[in-house]
Amino acid sequence: MSVKIQPVKGTREFYPEQMALRNFINDKVRAASQAFGYVEWDAPYIEPISLYAAKSGEELVKKQSFVFTDRGGDEVTLRPELTPSLARMIAAKQGELTFPVRWWSFGPFWRYESPQKGRSREFFQWNIDLLGADSPEADAELISVAATFLRSVGLTPERATVSVNNRKLMISQFDALGVPPEKRMDVSNLVDRRSKMDADKWDAYALEIGLTQSQLDGLKAILGNYELWKESAELVRLFAALDALGVKEYVKFDPNIVRGLLYYTGTVFEAFDMSGSVRRAILGGGRYDNLLADVGGQPLPAVGFAMGDVVIGIILQEAGLVPEFQPSPALVLVTVFDENLRLQSLSLATELRRAGINAMVYPEPAKLPKQFKFADKMKMKVALTIGPEEAANGQVAVKSLRTGEQVNVTRDAAVEKIRELMLNA
RNA sequence: GAGCCUGUAGCUCAAUGGCAGAGCGCCACACUGUGGAUGUGGAUGUUGUGGGUUCGAAACCCAUCAGGCUCCCCA
């Protein structure tokens, strides 16, 4: 009796079509990263749990990590994020690296959460970081990389935008309202929740955490003031740089963006899909100037962001931006006319491959209609046939599956004819 | 971790306690030297799984698994 073994909850199986989407995202990520001079790197997929204990927050470590004890008795985990590994690796070579460091990575991560739309337990994530530069122009570069990626996959500014804010600006605004420093986190949390709660409940919650009515009114004024960035010298420089970088239309200031992570110190940003069904951030990041010092390295300013493959994958599919799937990497089918001519088909295919053309041979001498139907389903461009006539004359029948035109050429001329048809296809 | 919704053919979905169906797709033939179009015919299945109620369950009840939505968190 066979029992169906299901895949682990929250994992995805990548059939060729899904694999093509994953590779499409990976290719665009690589191109956007390399266009700005970032170099690829990676860290171990299994890490000691203690690596995350310091800075990642209890939620991530205790509830969302795949933790297990290895045979030696050590507590390890499948990595839930990359930044702690980055901090460790940078700190270890801080004396020999040439700064500023520009690194990117695209790899698997695991988080033990309940799977739902836009979230799985095993996912791929693009991480990209610039370490050793603390200017607003450096922040702008990362935002520009993000916008360049969005543009490269065909997402227009109407469809996807990057919302930007600055933690320092918000803190100074909170201070001006008379919010005590120990309440900053609570207020940030409050801001983060605004879009998810009813207005009345949000007001009540604000008063509950200790804001006065006048502070609440002041906070609302701040969150509705989309010109507030003009009061931040950093943001003024940031937007000037974004203009020069040619991505201004993708970016807007939004005082409601605060982001959950504790370690952000200045600029923070998130990209959203404005029209799709996924109400989750496509990517998010910001400046984290204290992290290296916090994990024992020399102080080092840093800015970066991360993008998961799940949300962007859904958005690209919904927007119809995923390239048509090509079922076979071979665009040429060599048919097999009959048993006697089978070896001629095999040797013809070999000639094509030696000329650099991917070619597939039908595995058996089936009826020609069946073989042509197969080529059609595989979305191939060209079908070749060597029948008794062609074999007698040293020729090959070359048919374009797009136009339906067929010509007989000598075997020597076949490669050139196929190249011509594939260019036009 | 908590609450709610869903699960029927490969896919999208019907059937509300009384013979499990349609469209699309698939296979064969028309067409034994040529795909897409058309026509004709064919197969779709332990109704997620396991129990229970009932003369009778796809439907009602319980459990379980999977998926979705929300809270939480975040990519």
Three-class SS of A313-347: HHHHHHCCCCCCCCCCCCCEEECCCCHHHHHHHHH
CA dist., res. A52 & res. A79, Å (int)? 9
Q: Is A100 within 8 Å of A132 (Cβ atoms)?
A: yes
Whole-number Å distance, CA A347 to C1' B71?
Answer: 64
In this complex, the nucleotide whose C1' atom is nearest to the CA atom of residue A4 is B49
Whole-number Å distance, CA A391 to C1' B30?
Answer: 30
In this complex, the nucleotide whose C1' atom is nearest to the CA atom of residue A282 is B75
Per-residue pLDDT of chain A (425 residues; tens, 9 = 90+): 234 667 788 888 888 888 999 999 999 999 999 999 999 999 999 999 888 876 555 556 666 788 888 899 988 889 998 998 999 999 999 999 999 999 999 999 998 887 877 888 889 999 999 999 999 999 999 999 999 999 999 999 988 999 999 999 999 999 999 988 888 888 888 887 787 777 777 888 888 888 899 999 999 999 999 999 999 999 999 999 999 999 999 999 999 888 766 678 999 999 988 776 666 789 999 999 988 888 788 899 999 999 999 999 988 888 888 888 889 999 999 999 999 999 999 999 999 999 999 999 998 898 899 999 999 999 999 999 999 999 999 999 999 999 999 999 999 999 999 999 988 76
Kindly give the interhelix angle for A16-35 and A309-318, rounded to the nearest 10 degrees. 110
* Domains in chain A: ranges and CATH: 16-43+82-318 (3.30.930.10), 332-424 (3.40.50.800)
- The DSSP call for residue A280 is S
In terms of Cβ atoms closer than 10 Å to its own Cβ (0-12, 13-18, 19+), residue A24 is middle
Whole-number Å distance, CA A7 to C1' B11?
Answer: 21
Residue nearest to nucleotide B72 (CA to C1'): A59
Q: Is A410 within 8 Å of A394 (Cβ atoms)?
A: yes
Whole-number Å distance, CA A319 to C1' B11?
Answer: 21
In this complex, the nucleotide whose C1' atom is nearest to the CA atom of residue A312 is B75
Whole-number Å distance, CA A203 to C1' B47?
Answer: 49
In this complex, the nucleotide whose C1' atom is nearest to the CA atom of residue A83 is B75
Number of residues written out for chain A: 425
Whole-number Å distance, CA A123 to C1' B74?
Answer: 13
Provide the 10 A C-beta neighbour count for residue A292.
22
Q: Under DSSP, is residue A272 helix (H, G, I), strand (E, B) or coil?
A: strand
Whole-number Å distance, CA A423 to C1' B40?
Answer: 40
Query: For chain B, which bases have at least one atom within 7 A of a protein Cβ?
Result: 1-3, 26, 28-29, 31-36, 65-75
Q: What is the dihedral of CA A376, A379, A381, A384, to 10 degrees?
A: -40
Q: DSSP of A35-62, one letter per residue?
A: HTT-EE----SEEETHHHHTTS-HIIII
Cis omega (within 30 of 0) on the bond before A100?
A: yes
- The DSSP call for residue A425 is -
In this complex, the nucleotide whose C1' atom is nearest to the CA atom of residue A120 is B75
Radius of gyration of chain A (CA): 28
Whole-number Å distance, CA A30 to C1' B67?
Answer: 32
In this complex, the nucleotide whose C1' atom is nearest to the CA atom of residue A337 is B33
In this complex, the nucleotide whose C1' atom is nearest to the CA atom of residue A369 is B34
Whole-number Å distance, CA A327 to C1' B31?
Answer: 27
CA A382, A388, A390 angle in degrees (round to 5)? 50
In this complex, the nucleotide whose C1' atom is nearest to the CA atom of residue A121 is B75
Q: Is A289 within 8 Å of A301 (Cβ atoms)?
A: yes
Among the listed residues A386, A405, A381, the one whose alpha carbon sits nearest the alpha carbon of residue A397: A386
Residue nearest to nucleotide B69 (CA to C1'): A116
Whole-number Å distance, CA A402 to C1' B36?
Answer: 9
Whole-number Å distance, CA A158 to C1' B49?
Answer: 46
pLDDT at A55: 57
Q: Which two tokens stand for residue A227?
A: 């010109």
For chain A, how far is it from start to end, CA to CA, in angstroms?
49
pLDDT at A102: 98
- The DSSP call for residue A230 is G
- Helices first, then strands: H and E counts in chain A: 16, 16
